[in-house]
């Protein structure tokens, strides 16, 4: 491989050949949603992501991207996999689809990507495109379009990781608004686990963990019996997480 444009690359503020991709998930109308970007002048979508600055921790870069795309700070963000294959995707195809947007030399190199997932409150996000894209929107994670790069695969791996980490991570805490009902929490767990749960057993188990506080209010407006509102007792929640005692089947 001949050296090329080396001065330019090394002068760049970014680490070459290392990127990250963020699977930003939320929960809305009983569905898991993922935040996607549409590239300028195309109908092509991809995950948010990008390169890492030379003087920036990888975790910090993930937080920066999360902040830029959602407006949110201090959010649960978890690295879940490194995508380090040489031929992660068809680079020629990307070069063709995005040729009007990017420097072909810059994007033609093999890159390793660190995958992160973030769990955010749908109602608090302001989806914001980046310099290369013109639309940022939530997609039902079950019905994403064919994405650029290997991003469908990355989403798949993220969801697997989320399922196995469900017991050790503060998952409800970040995906739901501050106040929520038990049926809402149950539907979140069902969406992540991909199976239905018995509401009576779910309720008993959740409450027995001692991490929920029932409020005086109920959620009004539904067609039927109005459910109680709850919020997480933050200290107890984090205690349980440390103990690894939120295992859920």
From 4, 195, 220, 242, residue interacting with DNA (rule: CB under 7 A): 220
The string of DSSP letters for 232-243 reads E-HHHHHHHHHH
Q: How far is the CB of 102 from DNA (least distance, A)?
A: 47
Give whichever of 49 and 125 is closer to a copy of itself, judged by the CB atom. 49
Q: Counting contacts by CB under 8 A, is residue 16 touching a copy of itself? A: yes
Residues 42-61 contacting a copy of itself, CB under 8 A: 52, 54-59, 61
Cβ nearer to a copy of itself, comparing 33 with 159: 159
Examine residue 129 and tell whether it contacts a copy of itself (CB under 8 A): no
Contact between 19 and 112 (Cβ < 8 Å): yes
Closer of 43 and 55 to a copy of itself (Cβ): 55
Residues near a copy of itself (CB under 8 A), total? 33
Contact window for DNA (CB under 7 A) among 12-20, 53-61, 80-88, 222-230? 222-230
- Candidate residues 43, 55, 126, 249; the one interacting with DNA per rule CB under 7 A: 249
| Cβ–Cβ < 8 Å for 60, 85 | no
* Binding status of residue 195 toward DNA by CB under 7 A: no
Query: Nearer Cβ to DNA, position 90 or 196?
Result: 196
Joined together, the tokens standing for residue 193 give 């686990």
Determine the interface stretch with DNA among 88-96, 133-141, 161-169, 177-185 (rule: CB under 7 A): 177-185
Which residues between 151 and 180 bind a copy of itself (CB under 8 A)? Answer: 164, 168
Give the binding range for DNA (CB under 7 A) out of 30-38, 54-62, 68-76, 219-227. 219-227
* Residue 146 binding a copy of itself, by CB under 8 A: no
Helix axes 182-193, 199-208, angle to 10 degrees: 100
Of 14, 42, 28, 234, residue with least CA distance to 134: 42
Question: Residues interacting with DNA, by CB under 7 A?
Answer: 181-183, 198-201, 203, 205, 218, 220-228, 247, 249
Question: Residues interacting with a copy of itself, by CB under 8 A?
Answer: 1, 3-4, 6-7, 9-11, 15-18, 52, 54-59, 61, 79, 81-82, 84-86, 110, 112, 114, 164, 168, 244, 247
């Amino acid at each position: 491989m001949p050296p090329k444009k080396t001065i330019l690359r090394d002068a760049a503020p970014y680490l070459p050949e290392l990127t990250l991709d963020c699977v930003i998930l939320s929960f809305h109308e009983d569905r898991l949603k993922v935040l996607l970007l549409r590239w300028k002048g195309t109908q092509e979508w991809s995950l948010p992501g990008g390169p890492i600055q030379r003087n920036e921790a990888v975790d910090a870069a993930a937080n920066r991207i999360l902040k830029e795309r959602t407006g949110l700070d201090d959010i649960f963000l978890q690295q879940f996999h490194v995508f380090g294959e040489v031929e992660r995707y068809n680079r020629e195809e990307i070069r063709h689809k995005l040729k009007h947007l990017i420097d072909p030399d810059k994007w033609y190199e093999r890159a390793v990507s660190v995958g992160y997932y973030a769990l955010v409150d749908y109602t608090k996000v302001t989806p914001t495109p980046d310099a290369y894209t013109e639309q940022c929107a939530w997609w039902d994670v079950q019905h994403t379009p064919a994405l650029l790069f290997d991003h469908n695969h990355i989403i798949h791996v993220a969801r697997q990781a989320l399922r196995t980490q469900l017991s050790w991570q503060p998952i409800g805490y970040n995906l739901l608004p501050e106040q929520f009902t038990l049926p809402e929490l149950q539907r979140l767990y069902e969406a992540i686990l991909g199976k239905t749960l018995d509401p009576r057993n779910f309720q008993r188990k959740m409450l027995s963990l001692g991490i929920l506080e029932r409020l005086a209010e109920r959620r009004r407006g539904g067609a039927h019996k109005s459910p109680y509102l709850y919020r997480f007792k933050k200290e107890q929640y984090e205690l349980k997480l440390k103990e690894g005692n939120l295992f859920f089947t």
